[in-house]
Amino acid sequence: MSEALAWIDAQQSSLQQRLMQWSRINSGSHNLDGLANMHQTLADAYAEVSDSVESITADSYQIVRADGVVEEKQYGRMLHCLKRPEAKRRILLVGHMDTVFPADSAFQQPAQIDDNTIHGPGVADMKGGLLCMLTALKAYEQFTSDPQLGWEVLINADEELGSHGSRATIAKLATHSEIGLVYEPALADGTMVSSRKGSGNFSLVVHGKAAHAGREFNLGRNAIAQLALAMQALHGLNEKRDSIICNLGTITGGTVVNSVADLAICHFNVRTETSEDETWIQNQLKEIIVNINAEDGYSAELHGGLTRPPKDFSPEIKALFTLLSECSEQLGFEIKHQATGGCCDGNNLAAAGLPNIDTLGVRGGAIHTEDEFMLLDSLTERSKLSYLLLEKLNQMDSFEHYMRSQS
Ligand SMILES: [Zn+2]
């Protein structure tokens, strides 16, 4: 075991170099060429340790354009790697190759800013994590004398958009495994995530009737005004229930000032803590739509939905953290965790019944901003943490037995 840990330590400078290379590849969620490049880079890297590597087409998704038309969009392809598919004990490791920085973003180049910090797109979220996953798997395959785990890696290309195109694949793969490991970044101080809110994106499209603002104002039906009322109601939901968040994100509508606007659109995001919240919010949204449709000359449609159910700090996840804490003790540090309002594929895995820890990636911060950074010493630290966890899982008869022995 100490041999494996020493081997991981010796990877520090090559990991650093590789992370800089990966960060230079723009893989914004909408940049399909950049994602194809990142996909190939990852396929080559993971082929070194997998029995098979394949590319999976993501489902397409619908967006509501500014003119109200619903358009079908494509996501980047997913990478799927398999090892020991015949093994009885199976785990699923999940990551994403996309970032929030588009092809035309000003933020393209990584840079080292001090001895232990690099700054760059995706260095924390989550190209650093993809390297930790790979390094832990390599150490496991190289140094474990009797490897029992069949593992599967899924790296999607639409996580930052909500994983709509990869959701079905994630749910399907989750049924093959006992445990899920996801490589989102930990906080800069190493704190990990215990539970997460659920989330969903919606587009509310309101149709009115166009008319000349001066001559026939009374014949028009102003979609902007109607949407404004609906948005008041949506924002008001935050007051009605503490455990939900409804955030109005963007609005569009109208064409010129002397015409009554016949179209207005609001895109918004909802966060929930429980399945009761999900039912509650869905009923509230339905009511808002019914109210608009009841107004003379107006109609409304709601697109989107709640796609990431809340992730509880379940007894299974607590048990996984107990195991992980034993690993971190061996490495001389303590694991802390806390709840968050953010979502990730850990939500989707949990919803599919797979207990998982979802912040096994590097330590870093300011993610989703041009100040994104990661701490270099966490590359080997978190690789070793994952490796030790794989070792522990390898020694168990089954995770279920372990759970029973814990209770
Ligand atoms: Zn992420």
pLDDT digit string (tens) for 258-267?
999 999 999 9
Residue 368 CA to ligand 1 center (angstroms) comes to 9
Residue type (1 letter), 352: A
Residue 52 CA to ligand 1 center (angstroms) comes to 25
More confident residue, 403 or 154: 154
Residue 224 CA to ligand 1 center (angstroms) comes to 35
Verify that 24 and 50 share a domain, yes or no: yes
Residue 310 CA to ligand 1 center (angstroms) comes to 17
Residue 350 CA to ligand 1 center (angstroms) comes to 16
Residue 220 CA to ligand 1 center (angstroms) comes to 45
Strand partners, 245: 271
Residue 194 CA to ligand 1 center (angstroms) comes to 16
pLDDT at position 1 over 90: no
* Reduced DSSP (H G I as helix, E B as strand, rest coil) percent helix, strand, coil of the chain, to 5: 40, 30, 35
Verify that 277 and 392 share a domain, yes or no: no
Angle between helices 275-294 and 223-240 (to 10 degrees): 150
Tell me the per-residue pLDDT of 67-92, one tens digit each, with 9 for 90 and over.
889 999 899 999 999 999 999 999 99
Residue 67 CA to ligand 1 center (angstroms) comes to 31
* pLDDT band of 398, cuts 50, 70, 90: confident
pLDDT at position 407 over 80: no
Residue 185 CA to ligand 1 center (angstroms) comes to 7
Can you give the pLDDT at residue 370? 97
Query: Considering only CA atoms, which of 247, 238, 237, 199 is closest in space to residue 348?
Result: 199
Residue 125 CA to ligand 1 center (angstroms) comes to 4
Can you give the pLDDT at residue 317? 95
Give the pairing type, strands 61-64 and 70-73: antiparallel
Cα separations (Å) of 92 from 171, 260, 379? Answer: 11, 54, 20
In the chain, pLDDT over 70 holds for what percent of residues?
100
The residues, ordered by sequence, that sit 6+ positions from 395 with a Cβ below 8 Å of its Cβ are: none
Which residue matches tokens 């390599």?
Answer: 138
Residue 148 CA to ligand 1 center (angstroms) comes to 29
Verify that 121 and 18 share a domain, yes or no: yes
Residue 8 CA to ligand 1 center (angstroms) comes to 24
Can you give the pLDDT at residue 86? 94
Judged by DSSP in three states, 268 sits in strand
Which residue matches tokens 């303590």?
Answer: 334
Rounded CA-CA distance 224/215 in Å is 19
- Token code pair at residue 298: 């107006």
Residue 182 CA to ligand 1 center (angstroms) comes to 9
Residue 351 CA to ligand 1 center (angstroms) comes to 18
Verify that 190 and 335 share a domain, yes or no: yes
Average confidence score pLDDT of the chain: 96
Verify that 221 and 158 share a domain, yes or no: no
* pLDDT band of 403, cuts 50, 70, 90: confident
Residue 83 CA to ligand 1 center (angstroms) comes to 24
Instruction: Please answer whether residues 64 and 152 qualify as being in contact, where contact means their C-beta atoms are separated by less than 8 angstroms.
Output: no
Can you give the pLDDT at residue 366? 97
Residue 158 CA to ligand 1 center (angstroms) comes to 10
Query: Considering only CA atoms, which of 318, 381, 320, 317 is closest in space to residue 353?
Result: 317
Residue 361 CA to ligand 1 center (angstroms) comes to 9
Angle between helices 377-395 and 128-143 (to 10 degrees): 50
Residue 122 CA to ligand 1 center (angstroms) comes to 8
Strand partners, 82: 52, 152
Average pLDDT value for residue range 140-163: 95
Instruction: Please answer whether residues 25 and 18 qualify as being in contact, where contact means their C-beta atoms are separated by less than 8 angstroms.
Output: no
Residue 1 CA to ligand 1 center (angstroms) comes to 30
More confident residue, 93 or 406: 93
Verify that 30 and 83 share a domain, yes or no: yes
Can you give the pLDDT at residue 401? 84
Rounded CA-CA distance 348/75 in Å is 18
Residue 221 CA to ligand 1 center (angstroms) comes to 42
Among 260, 279, 306, the domain-final residue is 306
Average pLDDT value for residue range 107-123: 97
More confident residue, 357 or 66: 357
- Token code pair at residue 191: 């704190």
Phi, psi of 320, deg, nearest 5 = -65, -40
Residue 388 CA to ligand 1 center (angstroms) comes to 23
Verify that 158 and 203 share a domain, yes or no: no
Average pLDDT value for residue range 123-149: 97
pLDDT at position 39 over 80: yes
Residue 295 CA to ligand 1 center (angstroms) comes to 42
Residue 238 CA to ligand 1 center (angstroms) comes to 26
Q: Running DSSP on this structure, what letter comes out for residue 104?
A: T
* pLDDT band of 400, cuts 50, 70, 90: confident
Can you give the pLDDT at residue 63? 86
Can you give the pLDDT at residue 61? 85
Q: Running DSSP on this structure, what letter comes out for residue 126?
A: I
Verify that 172 and 210 share a domain, yes or no: no
Q: How many CB atoms lie within 10 A of CB 183?
A: 32
* pLDDT band of 404, cuts 50, 70, 90: confident
Verify that 143 and 7 share a domain, yes or no: yes
Residue 124 CA to ligand 1 center (angstroms) comes to 8
Rounded CA-CA distance 266/206 in Å is 9
The length of the chain in residues reads 407
Please report, for the domain that includes residue 212, its CATH number: 3.30.70.360
Instruction: Please answer whether residues 107 and 121 qualify as being in contact, where contact means their C-beta atoms are separated by less than 8 angstroms.
Output: yes
Residue 341 CA to ligand 1 center (angstroms) comes to 14
Among 273, 288, 306, the domain-final residue is 306
Q: Running DSSP on this structure, what letter comes out for residue 359?
A: B
More confident residue, 1 or 392: 392
Residue 160 CA to ligand 1 center (angstroms) comes to 7
Verify that 243 and 301 share a domain, yes or no: yes
Among 287, 306, 325, the domain-final residue is 306
What would the DSSP string read from start to end of 27-55? -BTT-HHHHHHHHHHHHHHHHTT-SEEEE
Please report, for the domain that includes residue 393, its CATH number: 3.40.630.10
Tell me the per-residue pLDDT of 169-205, one tens digit each, with 9 for 90 and over.
999 999 999 999 999 999 999 999 999 999 999 999 9
pLDDT at position 387 over 80: yes
Rounded CA-CA distance 256/296 in Å is 23
pLDDT at position 405 over 90: no
Residue 129 CA to ligand 1 center (angstroms) comes to 9
Residue 320 CA to ligand 1 center (angstroms) comes to 21
Residue 209 CA to ligand 1 center (angstroms) comes to 42
Per-position b or e across 276-311, b if 16+ CB within 10 A of its CB: ebbebbbebbeebbeebeeeeebbbbbebebbbbbb
Residue 230 CA to ligand 1 center (angstroms) comes to 32
Rounded CA-CA distance 378/371 in Å is 18
Q: How many domains does the chain divide into?
A: 2
Residue type (1 letter), 308: R
Verify that 396 and 260 share a domain, yes or no: no
Give the pairing type, strands 364-365 and 373-375: antiparallel
The residue ranges of DSSP E strands in 109-191, in sequence order, are: 111-114, 117-119, 149-156, 179-182
- Which domain does 239 fall in, by range? 198-306
- Token code pair at residue 126: 């989550």
Average pLDDT value for residue range 286-311: 96
Verify that 183 and 158 share a domain, yes or no: yes
